[in-house]
Amino acid sequence: MSLSSPVPQHFSVRAVELDDTDPLCSYRDLFVDAPSVVSYLDGNSLGRPTKAGAEQVARFVAESWGGRLIRGWDEEWFDLPLTIGDELGRVVLGAAAGQTAVGDSTSVLLYKLARGAVALRPGRDEIVVDTDNFPTDRYVLEAVASELGMTLRWIESDPRSGVRADEVAAVVGDRTALVVLSHVAYRSGYLADAASITRVTHAAGALMLWDLCHSVGSVPIELDEWGVDLAVGCTYKYLNGGPGSPAFAYVRAGLLEEFVQPIWGWMGREDVFEMAAGYRPARGIRRILSGTPAILGMIAMRDTVELIDGAGIGEIRAKSVRLTEFALELVAESLVPIGVTIASPVDPSLRGGHVTIDHPRFRAATPALWERGVIPDFRAPEGLRLGLSPLSTSFSEVVAGVEAIRAELAVGD
């Protein structure tokens, strides 16, 4: 097969068969279609909007905001960060009510959780994080360590895989206050064994904080069952909340009475409208809030949470595995022979919802792919991420995307 030839025909035939027999195929029609997009392979960065979500946002502007005006706070908005938090907990986090709140960005919530967590472990002066964690996680923890005179203990993680329980066991000890890791690695898609790593962390007397940004809505999560202490995640990837939609924070019920976050604002106070001197944190998860919540940014994700609830996270995970396995088979046969390498785990039990492939020309190729209507994203030094959202991505889209990648690599050769 020459470099300029298309991917083998049997993949196109198989993709049609897989799409026709896909139990979740009807969900694709529920998303807003972009006519200029041939293959959207970036759902792990920004999910497509749902049609119902778009309608809900428009209706909110016209009716709730425009019609009810300030009365909306008393009628619904004041409790919405907690109401949606409970929905997220039930449907995608495996968390009982009263432990999850929506508000702020991932960066701000991560800072709040990390500062609050280390305060619960006085006398301990180390935070564990891995070298290939998402930049915000590393930067925020560097800031916390600098502010408090703590030390970061770095796990040298492999960018093509992720952090294992034995690697955590090797660095935690009686000085460890907090361990912060990503459930699914942003670069490789590696799916960490959250339950085992949490047990290892607890055995050392430390608290465990999971970043769920690349896993929530695509893989099953059981925070309560795993004994997780704290978690944070965004809502604009597999939850389709839209650009900049607010993140969520989870704090285990057993910690809430003692947990105090560092950004004290009126929305997290015991009596919000007392306007009195002195800050007293609200009871329960409301104490994680600070300023006025981004209500408009919470609206679109509600439809996706309903869709996930209806489809079932187990069925979503099953399709995610089928999608990524199909993509890896296609890459192995069509792209590996021309110099592309696979930078994600091949074992589906160790892989989240996206796969990463490497080639020295991918940075230059990405804008050209976008011009073709094929939209993956690039991650330095030479990785192309293929984010496959189970509810909105078809197998035929994967074929079209890989075919365009192959054609782009052929340009100039």
Catalytic residues: 134, 211, 236-237, 385
- What stretch of H or E contains 341? strand 341-342
Q: Does 381 sit behind a cis peptide bond, omega within 30 degrees of 0 on the bond before it? A: yes
Write the DSSP string, 369-402. Answer: HHHTTEE-EEETTTEEEEE--TTT--HHHHHHHH
User: Cα(300)–Cα(343) distance, rounded to whole angstroms?
Assistant: 33
Residue with tokens 């679109």: 300
Q: Which residues contact 386 (CB under 8 A, 6 or more apart)?
A: 41, 327, 354, 355, 356, 357, 376, 398, 401
Residue with tokens 């021309």: 338
Helix (H, G, I), strand (E, B) or coil at 64: helix
Helix (H, G, I), strand (E, B) or coil at 128: strand
Q: Which residues contact 264 (CB under 8 A, 6 or more apart)?
A: 279, 281, 290
Q: Would you give the DSSP letter of residue 285?
A: G
User: Cα(342)–Cα(303) distance, rounded to whole angstroms?
Assistant: 34
Looking at this protein, which amino acid is placed at residue 70? I
Q: Would you give the DSSP letter of residue 222?
A: -
Q: How many CA atoms lie within 13 A of 151 on its CB side?
A: 12
User: Cα(103)–Cα(90) distance, rounded to whole angstroms?
Assistant: 18
CB-CB contact of 138 with 279 (8 Å): no
Is the sign of the CA dihedral 357, 359, 365, 366 positive or negative?
positive
User: Cα(65)–Cα(296) distance, rounded to whole angstroms?
Assistant: 9
